[in-house]
Amino acid sequence: MVIIGGHEDKFGHPEILQRITDLAREYLPNAPLAVVTTASRQGTLSFETYHHAFSQFGLEVVPVCIETRGEASLPHARQALKKVAGVFFTGGDQLRITSVLGGTLFHQALLDAWKGGIVVAGTSAGASMMSRTMIMAGSAEETPARNTVNMSPGMGLWSDAVIDQHFSQRGRIGRLLAAVAQNPEALGVGIDENTAVVVRPASHQLTVSGDGTVLIIDGRLCGLNNVSEARPEEPLTLSHMILHVLSRGYGLDLVTREPFANPS
C-alpha cells in the first residue's frame, strides 16, 4: 500500500507518484494502473489529472469510474482489476468510496488482488478508506473527546490501523487520539500532505516518503482511558500513549512497533 496524506506533488518533484510507478512495475512491468475516481464528484477531471501526472513516467493508466453500487456489483467491475499492476484511489469523500464499493463484487476483487500482490495506493479520502475502521469526519483543533471524531467501517485492506490525512496542515491530532482511544489495538497513522507511508505486509514494515512527517500513535499500552465513561463532549483522559514522528528515511516495524532508520 502507498497511503498519501493528500496534495501530493504531481509535476514539480513527484517523488510519491514515482514511488507508485516503481512499485507497480516491480509487480507487473508492462501493465497499467487503474485509477478509481469514486470518491470524487468530478471523476472525469480527477482521472485526467492523474492520467497526465503518471504519463510523465510512461505509465499507462485506465479509468475505473464506478458511481453506484449497482455498477460495483456487475461482473465487469470484478474484471476491472484484472491484468493491472496497481489501483489508485483519488481524493474526495471517503464515505462515497465505502458506501458505493463496500461489500460489492468490486470490493471483493480489490481484496483478492491485494492479497495477490497488487499495489494499492490512495490519496486523501483514498488514504482514509484503507483501514478496517475509518475516520469519516471529525472536529480539527479541538480537545480530544468522544464526539471529536466520527468513524465507520473502511475497506479493510489494513486491518489494524486507523488513518488520518492532511494531518499537520489541519491540526488533526485531537481526532486521531480520540480514534485510537476508542480502538486502542489499532495503530493511529496521521499523514501530512505531500507525504506517504509505504506498507509492505510481507516484511511487516512501514516506511515514509515525501516532504512532511507521519505521526504514529500506539495505544496498546494505554493505561488511563475514560472514553467509555466520559460524556460525548467531555475531554478524554489518556495515559501511556506512545507517539512517534517519522520523516523520509525512517520507518516502523509493524510487529514490534519500533521505529528504524530505512537504509535505502
Q: Which residues are catalytic?
A: 124, 142, 166
- Cβ neighbour number for residue 145 with a 10 Å cutoff: 21
Burial environment of residue 8 by CB neighbours within 10 A (0 to 12, 13 to 18, 19 or more): buried
**Grid coordinates of 179:** 480514534
Per DSSP, the residues of 103-152 read TSHHHHHHHHHHHHT-EEEEETHHHHTTBSEEEEEE-SSS--BGGGEEEE
Tell whether the torsion through CA atoms of 259, 21, 153 and 191 is positive or negative: positive
